[in-house]
Structure 1
Amino acid sequence: MRRALLAITGLAAGTTAMVVLKGSPGTSPVAHDLPAAPPPVVPAPAGPTPTGGEVSAAPSPSRTGASPRPDRTATRPPASRPSATTRAPSAPRTTTKPPPAPTTRTVTGPVVENEYGNVQVQITLRGTRIVDVVALELPEETAQSDQRSEQVDGRYSGTSGLVVQRQSADVDTVSGATATSTSYRQSLQAAIDRAN
């Protein structure tokens, strides 16, 4: 009877030590790192058992691979995983594709006649921006009209001409080539209007 009382007392002391060492949620982490007291050994009662054998000591917990510290996972709440039916919808996927490159297109203005000949202009646009201007027709009847046409073409046409710089048909008249300049602007404005 005395041995049984000692065994119960030892078991109670061991359980109390484990509870104290595990600590409550407000205890410092230092208490968690202390080694647990070894489990008490319960002495076997002496004497024969009804089957004729001796009673062996109470089996001690297995120590193979066990840590001397108490098991902390038992006090942690299980990780909550959302079920498939209660999972919040994920944010829509956004792709970071670059914006599409603006399309390049050409628009041709009408042929505009004047006393020196015909003028026709073609513009190239990338998106809504004029990037190039070409004179398809200019007066070349005489040396003088050819010279004036070259002046107008050199000033207005090309990727760096006044039309591309100003992005409109509102360009100054070339001195000495008023008729050709006016016809050029008329064909150009018609091409811009068709592009819009």
Structure 2
Amino acid sequence: MRRALLAITGLAASTSVLVVLKGSPGATQVAQDLPRTPTPVAPGSADPAPAEGEVAAEASAAATTGPRPSRSPSRAPSARPSSGSGSDGGGQTRKPSAPRTTTKPPAQPTTRTVTGPVVENEYGNVQVQIVVSGSRIVDVRALELPQETAQSDQRSEQVNGRYSGSGGQVVERQSADVDTVSGATATSTSYKQSLQAAIDRAN
């Protein structure tokens, strides 16, 4: 009889303890801290579903850090060729053409022939012709000299030899200021007069 009473009393005490444990929040916390049985995963399936604790941790981290900013995809640069003057329809850039330099050959001096007037003296007539290239006398010719006598012919040859031609005194000095031939003063003077008139006409 005594043993039965003790058993009944112990049963009642254990029942009270269980009721108290179930109603207290600490018991709930203990129950939550108990390890959960992992959810079985079928073979060949994807990664196992996250446990409730992991879901709660991820939700807490997302709430703390906030949503991540989304990146908009960068646009690729346009591949269309520019329609400027430096490119053609095929998209190839044209190289600027080098400026054309036209080198003109140096102008050749104009060659002119100028004839002086006929100058008369006591021995005959004298007339001189000059060839001018640009502004320079390059040749001198005696078109007419006194040749009536042998003496006049000789003096005329002396004057012509000293003054005329491309190597005479006229071309050398580029003027009518030449030396008078001794013994042929009249012919020399007439020659200078016709020569000076031709030079004046050329200028």
In structure 2, give the amino acid aligned to 1:102: P
TM-score (norm 1): 0.54
Match of 1:107 among 114, 130, 141: 114
Partner residue of 1:161? 168
Could you say which residue in structure 1 is the equivalent of 2:130? 123
- 1:84, CA displacement in angstroms? 3.8
Report the Cα distance in structure 2 between the residues aligned to 1:146 and 1:125, rounded to whole angstroms: 28
* Equivalence for 1:177: 184
Counterpart-to-counterpart distance in 1, 2:115 and 2:45: 118
Query: Which structure has the larger Rg?
Result: 2
Q: Which of 134, 139, 142 is 1:135 aligned to?
A: 142
Check if 1:148 corresponds to 2:155: yes
Shift of 1:93: 5.0
The offset of 1:115, in angstroms, is 0.6
Distance change (3 Å), C-alpha of 1:122 and 1:47: farther
Q: How does 1:1-196 map to 2 (within 5 A)?
A: 47=45, 83-84=84-85, 93-196=100-203
Alpha-carbon distance in 2 for matches of 1:163, 1:147: 20
CA distance in 2, matches of 1:111, 1:91: 60
* TM-score, normalised with respect to structure 2: 0.52
Structure 2: runs of 5+ lacking an equivalent: 1-43, 47-81, 87-96
| Partner deviation per Cα, 1:74-94 (whole Å, 9 max, x = no partner) | xxxxxxx9x549xxxx99754
Question: What CA deviation, in whole Å up to 9, does each residue of 1:22-66 have, x standing for no partner?
Answer: xxxxxxxxxxxxxxxxxxxxxxxx857xxxxxxxxxxxxxxxxxx
Q: How far apart in 1 are the matches of 2:111 and 2:136?
A: 9
Residue 20 of structure 1 is matched in structure 2 by: none
Give the AA of the match of 1:95: T
Q: C-alpha distance in 2, partners of 1:113/1:91? A: 66
What is the Cα deviation at residue 104 of structure 1? 1.1
Instruction: Provide the alpha-carbon RMSD of the alignment.
Output: 2.8
Change (3 A) 1:47 1:101: farther
TM superposition shift of 1:100: 1.2
How many angstroms does 1:152 deviate by?
Answer: 0.2
Q: Distance in 1 between matches of 2:133 and 2:170?
A: 14
Counterpart residue number, 1:7: none
Q: CA deviation at 1:172?
A: 0.6
Count the aligned residue pairs. 117
